Chain A
Amino acid sequence: MSEPFESGWLRRDARGRAGVSPAKPRSPSRPPREGQACCQNVPEPQGDLGPFNPGLPARVPLWLAVNLKRRQKCRLLPPDWMDVEKLEEMRDHERKEETFTPMPSPHYMELSQLLLNHAADNIPKADEIRTLIKETWDTRIAKLRVSADRFVRQQEAHARLDNLTLLEISTSGAFLTRALGRMYRLRTGLQPPAGTQSQDF
């Protein structure tokens, strides 16, 4: 969510985009700035980027990869796990296990959504991957619902949720925590603090 995303692989494509971006790559022609030698690294607070050389892959943050892709300045290399076989295995494993299985990336859903929406042409078998990830997601959300239900029924005060990703937590998190808070108050017989309902200044 707010963490810097795991980087996608990024490759500058000098040949394929000749019609859109100048065939000559731009990086080497960048003027040196502030006494630096002509260096192709782009300094960033979240770590340096580049160097960007035509044809060579570079690791960049996801937001930059998507932006460059939208400007048709690069080709994206999908992460290793974004592969039909691996994802099939992952889905079957997820269906077999009672508990949540570890995901290949803590942001698997966000990553695949962004990559598949913006760079489907760079990902082999994009449609199959989309379906597989959706199936895994559905299985996990169903598990989450069941366990939330159990949590509420058994009136637990603590639950452990390993391997649940941030996005999965936020889909039902806000609702669940509020509901639990209300139920706790009802059960412990506490009156809501005076004025909760009426006096919001």
Chain B
Amino acid sequence: MAEQLDLAGQESDGASDEVVLTPAELIDRLEQAWMNEKFAPELLESKSEIVECVIEQLDHMEENLKKASKGDLKVSIHRMETGRIRYVLSSYLRCRLGKIEKFFPHVLEKEKTRSDGEPSSLSPEEFAFAKEYMANTETYLKNVALKHMPPNLQKVDLLRSVPKPDLDSYVFLRVNERQENLLVEPETDEQRDYVIDLEEGSQHLIRYKTIAPLVASGAVQLI
């Protein structure tokens, strides 16, 4: 047990935010990232350090499991636990890939216009995937249809023809840190803008655009 905790410590030291996490906190973070990603309409910032830590930890546990004697109660419990964590992890990654496939031109455009200091919303692997997906789509469209078109119709602007993430969609959220004076835009023109306070622990239904920065900072959790 001690060994595992040390390992998690080392991993987090190596990560960019330099916070030492216990395995339980690590899993919590993964679950938060997972739920946010599931419910947010757009692709969120990549949490690659969490993903790497979890993968390393899972590999380590599975390595240990191979060595352990069969039929031990411990082994079956561990196996279940790793299975559960692996499910969350792959669901998280799959959800991100799904969004990349859906919004690839916009994701790549955002990546292109991103300034150096800003954190990337794609991990290196996801970036490679998005680029390849874009190239393949373009080739496919060209081979199947475009090259048979008259020359003036042979171009398709993917940025305009692929739907953008709908930031106006509604989300449910729970508040982790109290927020004051959040401006809510009205639904119709007759209504006026108004401000609300988000109290810690309260739950809300609101348009994603209003609270998108709070999701990124971790002040609210999508549910």
Chain A: residues with CB nearer than 8 A to chain B? 1-4, 26-27, 30-31, 33-34, 36, 41-49, 63-64, 67, 73, 151, 155-164, 166, 169, 173, 176-178, 180-181, 184-185, 187, 192-196, 199, 201
Give the residues in chain B near A185, CB-CB below 8 Å. 168
Distance (whole angstroms) from the CB of B188 to the closest CB of chain A: 6
How distant is the Cα of A125 from the Cα of B186 in the complex, in angstroms?
50
A interface, by DSSP: helix, strand, loop or mixed? Answer: loop
Give the residues in chain B near A45, CB-CB below 8 Å. 4, 23-24, 26-27, 57, 61, 81, 85
Given the contacts A3-B31, A158-B205, A43 and B4 also touching, CB distance less than 8 Å? yes
Q: Is there contact, CB below 8 Å, between A30 and B24? A: no
The residue in chain A whose Cβ has the minimal distance to the Cβ of B136 is: A201
Give the residues in chain B near A36, CB-CB below 8 Å. 1
Distance (whole angstroms) from the CB of B21 to the closest CB of chain A: 11
Q: Is there contact, CB below 8 Å, between B23 and A196? A: no
Q: Is there contact, CB below 8 Å, between B161 and A194? A: yes
The yes or no answer to B115 lying at the interface (CB within 8 A) is: no
Q: Is there contact, CB below 8 Å, between A2 and B137? A: no
Q: Is there contact, CB below 8 Å, between B160 and A194? A: yes
The yes or no answer to B196 lying at the interface (CB within 8 A) is: yes
The 10 closest A-B pairs by CB, nearest first: A43-B1, A45-B23, A181-B169, A155-B187, A177-B170, A159-B205, A193-B163, A180-B170, A161-B203, A196-B163
The residue in chain B whose Cβ has the minimal distance to the Cβ of A39 is: B1
The residue in chain A whose Cβ has the minimal distance to the Cβ of B72 is: A30
Contact of B172 among A4, A67, A169, A181 (CB under 8 A): A169
The yes or no answer to B146 lying at the interface (CB within 8 A) is: no
Total B residues in contact with A, Cβ cutoff 8 Å: 51
The yes or no answer to B215 lying at the interface (CB within 8 A) is: no
Number of cross-chain contacts by CB at 8 Å: 126
How distant is the Cα of A96 from the Cα of B116 in the complex, in angstroms?
57
| Pairs A–B under 8 Å by Cβ, sample size 18 | A1-B35, A2-B31, A33-B74, A45-B23, A45-B61, A46-B24, A47-B24, A67-B77, A157-B187, A157-B191, A157-B207, A160-B205, A163-B203, A177-B171, A194-B163, A195-B162, A195-B163, A196-B163
How distant is the Cα of A81 from the Cα of B186 in the complex, in angstroms?
41
How distant is the Cα of A45 from the Cα of B21 in the complex, in angstroms?
11
How distant is the Cα of A105 from the Cα of B131 in the complex, in angstroms?
46
Q: Is there contact, CB below 8 Å, between B202 and A160? A: yes
Q: Is there contact, CB below 8 Å, between B172 and A177? A: yes
The A-contacting residues of B in range 159-216, CB under 8 angstroms, are 160-164, 166, 168-172, 184-188, 191, 196, 202-207
Residue of B81, B171, B185, B187 contacting most chain A CB atoms (<10 Å): B187
Give the residues in chain A near B34, CB-CB below 8 Å. 2
How distant is the Cα of A73 from the Cα of B184 in the complex, in angstroms?
54
